Amino acid sequence: MDISHLLTPHSQQMESSLVRELLHYSQQSDILSLAGGLPDEAVMPAYPALNLLNDSRQYGASEGEGSLRKSIVSILAERGLVSSADNILVTNGSQQGLDLISRLILDSDSTILTEQPTYLAACQVFKLQGAHVQDVVSDEQGMCITALREAIDKYQPKAVYLIPNFQNPAGHCYSLERRKQIAALLDEKDILLIEDDPYRDLCYENVDLTPITTLIKSAPWLYMGSFSKVLWPGLRVGYTVSCGAFTPHLTKIKQAADLHTNRLGQNMIEYFLESGQYPEHVKKLRVVYKEKCDRMTGALNKYLNGVVEFTPPTGGMFFWVKLPEGVSSMLVLDEALKEKILVLPGVPFFPCKNPLEDSYLRLSFARVSPAEIDRAISILSSVIRRLMP
């Protein structure tokens, strides 16, 4: 059946997510997956008993549960971000936050600037609205300020989308100086900042985590967080914080999209936060994931020293690995899968065509054990070396 005449031009052009397409492989018991950004079930706390939770059987407020929004206010205050519960919208993961924001501000006449590379699902959302996504050269300290200024002057963007803490996929963490420079430039140009911060609690070194939002003096901003990487991703609970002008508009779009976020999931998150267990849980996550991060650093140095290039991340879930010249990341995916190792090519993380887009792998250490990391990198080394010209 031909339904093309029923589809919008933007939906017809939309590309599927390679991460989601590969997810079924990661669920096979004989596959060692370094591909998805999936947390480790072994360090997820048990769900609280239903009889301990507030009644969630009835419809709820579009903004989210009031008690959870108050807890989020406290979490934000610890980050230096002063807000009120009235300016917090609880969403179905931070991904829905991106969707709602995109529906609010983007159309076919809009340009949005992103890092190079950047989170591929964000680009999906932006492009679904018909927006032009333009990437900006980034380094290990963040988006390059000179390149950002030039891009703002050239493209007159609606917004700049950033992941300053343990960026997905590159893993880098912005320096404080770079954060200040970006905030000052956005103030100067009066450009909207969309700051995505899902990984900040997974911090393994003493690095700066200051939200760029807190450094902005006059420009508009939107800040997104999530509980998916630190608690239960299956519940899909995230949040969007906005400077006040956006709040009523985002709430109306949320109402139209799905009425409200799952109340049971919100109440489970809130119970865990109120129980006092959350700080110790985060400490445990950092210990467990740091061990895995160190193990992957050691394995890459052991098996691929001098062959690939990488910088060990100071937090988050990902290594961004540059392959030897002439080795295709897409071909590595195919050949490694034959050896029951699943990796993620760097191609979909580049919003614009780039000669280096097929030269990287994003490797996640979060869901595999330290021993499995060593084995996977050993096999991956053999695959890469076979493909070298």
Q: What is the DSSP string of 340-351?
A: TEE-EESGGG-S
Write b or e for each residue in 316-353: b if 16 or more Cβ atoms lie within 10 A of its Cβ, otherwise e.
bbbbbbbbbeebebeebbebbbeeebbbbbbbbbbbee
Q: Which residues pair with 315 in a beta bridge?
A: 203
C-alpha–C-alpha distance, residues 352 and 348, integer Å: 9
What's the count of helices (H) and strands (E) in the chain, helices before strands?
12, 13
Look at residues 302, 339, 306, 299 and name the one whose alpha carbon lies nearest to residue 322: 306
Q: Output the pLDDT for position 291.
A: 97
Average pLDDT of the residues in 187-208: 97
Choose among 324, 329, 318: nearest CA to 296.
318
Q: Give per-residue pLDDT as tens, 73-129.
A: 999 999 999 999 999 999 999 999 999 999 999 999 999 999 999 999 999 999 999
Confidence of residue 17 (pLDDT cuts 50, 70, 90): low
341-342 and 32-33 as β-strands: parallel, antiparallel, unpaired?
parallel
Which domains can be identified in the chain, with CATH numbers? 4-44+279-387 (3.90.1150.10), 57-274 (3.40.640.10)
User: What's the mean pLDDT in 143-151?
Assistant: 97
- Sorting pLDDT into bands at 50, 70 and 90, what band is 11? confident
Tell me the pLDDT tens digit for each residue of 353-371: 998 889 999 999 999 999 9
Instruction: Give pLDDT tens digits for 214-267.
Output: 999 999 999 999 999 999 999 999 999 998 889 999 999 999 999 999 999 999
